[in-house]
Structure 1
Amino acid sequence: MFEEHVTGLAFPEAARWHDGHLWFSDMHDERVFRVDGPGRVTEVVRVPGDPAGLGWLPDGRLLVVSMHDRRLLRLDPDGLTGHADLGHIATWHCNDMVVDAQGRAYVGNFGDGTPPGTPITPADLALVHPDGTVVVAATGLEFPNGAAIGDGTLVIAETRADPPRLTRFDIEPDGTLTSRRLFASLGPESPDGICLDAEGAVWFASWSTNEVIRVREGGEILDRRSTGDAGAYSCVLGGDDGRTLFVCVAATWMPEESRRTRTGRILATRVDVPATHLR
């Protein structure tokens, strides 16, 4: 069902399809990569603070979350530079991000450093405007993680809610998020990275059950595909027709072990419903 697309990685995360290529962060290897074909990767930039979420400004410049120093960085022609400081909003490491067509970035954070299974500090979602201005987009999220934008709305995974869930917001013209509501309540699945398809369903990577799962608004599970003995941490629809689902997997998320064992891989599988749009 899955084909191996890229192997030998530490901990691949934050997969995005952009400009005809698959992009991802190898988080624990401190590098962002672009995939030029099966097994062919090009290093784009090194991020010493561990790279996470990826996105692009309208002029094509890359934005990348620097996890540990809680900053959003921008790749200019002469190298990485600071785009925004998130330290006054993020109460723990920053993580995933989605950037809209206007260049507005929505960035989540862990909330605190406790392990799964213990109560977590609710976190605020940061909105970074294209000029680097940072405001709070939403409050009280339980580990705001993978996010996707489509049809004027934003869907975000609350990975450590009880039970885990996907939450939806309307996006107002100024980027403000309103009309918060439940997209889907989940069971044992822990949603990490997500993407939307053309029917409005969400594919999400579930590291707790080693699967990628397609769910309709309201919670109906439409498809689920096992990633075997590896946890699934991110997924994105791409390819020439938007019908290839790329999945970031690894046998461990522990930094030292992942760097030593390099079990990280990107898998690919074909699906029937394409992405909402390709950028």
Structure 2
Amino acid sequence: MNTLLTGLAMGESPRWHDGRLWLSDMGASEVVRADLDGKSEIVATVPGMPMGLGWLPDGRFLVVSSQDGKLLRQEPDGSMVTHADLSPLSRFPWSDMVVDGRGNAYIGNIGFDFGEGEPAPGTLALVTPDGVVREVAGDFEFPNGLAVTPDNGTLIVAESYGNRLTAFDILPDGGLANRRVWADLPDGFPDGICLDADGAVWYADVPGQRCVRVREGGEVLQTVGFDQGAFACVLGGPEGTTLFVTTAPWPPAQDGSRSGRVVTVEAPARAVGYP
């Protein structure tokens, strides 16, 4: 296990793209990009709190602005514009996002005011490449991490409060069907997730301070522990077998300190699918 980055407020939604690691630093309102030597730069500032990241087929970058209900797009000149307005669907915060190989973006809404309101059912929105928004599923117990299989055929959703991974078939128009439990996780609180070439899912677990690799049905294949909460993970690196994990203290420090990190672990199977 190695440390790639330090000094983050709270890293989320790591993505491996074009030979570098990208992530949202929620607490700093920044999207950060880093190379494998740990040299980092700020790619974008998102005052509404950045969350899920992804890319359109033409290479333009998307980021969820969680608190104001916007999906932002970065233009070639670096400017940030609104790709889609999510706010008509919900006034509550938006969480993670996965963009599939066709440019369809799936974005979770938690359905309540986190840290203040009582938990309530969350929803999932679809944003098409041209910015059309619609709700495609509901009744989630805190929808969080999202992943799509490499054939664009299956969407997997991490339900943090439901202690499970839930799967859907993806229809030709981007809609979802055949909802089913992909894995029950009786002692797991899955946050960010990613897929590997053996058909397994890695999930990050904040209260468990760990990342867990499971196969469909729930069999645990591997567990990696940390000394902080694990918020999200993604496979990447030159061979696709490096697991990048964003970690931070939980509950978060109230003194503004930046104790969040990105740590890396070598994994047994390479990255596939999206993110």
Q: TM-score, normalised by structure 1?
A: 0.93
- State whether residues 238 and 278 of structure 1, in contact with CA within 8 Å, keep that contact through their aligned partners in structure 2: no
Q: Distance in 2 between matches of 1:277 and 1:114?
A: 29
**1:99 aligned residue:** 99
What is the DSSP-based 3-state SS (H/G/I as helix, E as strand, rest coil) of the residue aligned with 1:194?
A: strand
Q: Is 1:111–2:111 an aligned residue pair?
A: yes
Letter in 2 for 1:108: G
**1:54 aligned residue:** 53
Q: Distance in 2 between matches of 1:169 and 1:129?
A: 17
Unaligned runs of 5+ in 2: none
Alignment of 1:131-170 (within 5 A): 131-150=130-149, 151=151, 152-161=153-162, 164-170=163-169
- State whether residues 91 and 110 of structure 1, in contact with CA within 8 Å, keep that contact through their aligned partners in structure 2: no
Alignment of 1:33-48 (within 5 A): 33-48=32-47
Q: CA deviation at 1:121?
A: 1.1
- State whether residues 63 and 72 of structure 1, in contact with CA within 8 Å, keep that contact through their aligned partners in structure 2: yes
- State whether residues 104 and 127 of structure 1, in contact with CA within 8 Å, keep that contact through their aligned partners in structure 2: yes
Q: Distance in 1 between matches of 2:38 and 2:270?
A: 23
Letter in 1 for 2:110: F
- Which residue of 263, 271, 274 maps to 1:275? 271
Q: CA deviation at 1:65?
A: 0.2
Q: Distance in 1 between matches of 2:132 and 2:141?
A: 24
Of the structure 1 ranges 143-152 and 118-127, higher mean CA displacement relative to structure 2 is found in 118-127
- Which residue of 231, 253, 256 maps to 1:260? 256
Unaligned runs of 5+ in 1: none
What is the DSSP-based 3-state SS (H/G/I as helix, E as strand, rest coil) of the residue aligned with 1:37?
A: coil
Are the structure 2 counterparts of residues 263 and 189 from structure 1 closer, same or farther at C-alpha, using a change threshold of 3 Å? Answer: same
- State whether residues 242 and 264 of structure 2, in contact with CA within 8 Å, keep that contact through their aligned partners in structure 1: yes
Q: TM-score, normalised by structure 2?
A: 0.95
Q: CA deviation at 1:119?
A: 5.4
Q: Distance in 2 between matches of 1:67 and 1:124?
A: 14
Letter in 2 for 1:129: T
Q: Distance in 1 between matches of 2:265 and 2:69?
A: 33
Q: CA deviation at 1:90?
A: 2.8
**1:214 aligned residue:** 213
Letter in 1 for 2:86: L
> Segments of 4+ in structure 1 off by > 3 A?
none
Letter in 1 for 2:74: L
Tell me the number of residue pairs that the alignment of Structure 1 and Structure 2 aligns: 272
What is the DSSP-based 3-state SS (H/G/I as helix, E as strand, rest coil) of the residue aligned with 2:59?
A: coil
Q: CA deviation at 1:43?
A: 1.0
Q: CA deviation at 1:115?
A: 4.0
Q: Distance in 2 between matches of 1:239 and 1:266?
A: 13
**1:187 aligned residue:** 186
- State whether residues 11 and 253 of structure 1, in contact with CA within 8 Å, keep that contact through their aligned partners in structure 2: no
What is the DSSP-based 3-state SS (H/G/I as helix, E as strand, rest coil) of the residue aligned with 2:269?
A: coil
The percentage of aligned residue pairs carrying the same residue is 49
Give the aligned CA root-mean-square deviation in angstroms: 1.7
**1:231 aligned residue:** 229
Q: Distance in 2 between matches of 1:253 and 1:267?
A: 19
Deviation string for 1:88-112 (max 9, x for gaps)? 2234101100001111100002210
**1:71 aligned residue:** 70
- State whether residues 6 and 38 of structure 1, in contact with CA within 8 Å, keep that contact through their aligned partners in structure 2: no
Q: CA deviation at 1:249?
A: 0.1
What is the DSSP-based 3-state SS (H/G/I as helix, E as strand, rest coil) of the residue aligned with 1:28?
A: helix
What is the DSSP-based 3-state SS (H/G/I as helix, E as strand, rest coil) of the residue aligned with 1:87?
A: coil
- Which residue of 241, 244, 250 maps to 2:242? 244
**2:25 aligned residue:** 26
Q: CA deviation at 1:8?
A: 0.9
Q: CA deviation at 1:252?
A: 3.0
Letter in 2 for 1:249: T
- State whether residues 126 and 136 of structure 2, in contact with CA within 8 Å, keep that contact through their aligned partners in structure 1: yes
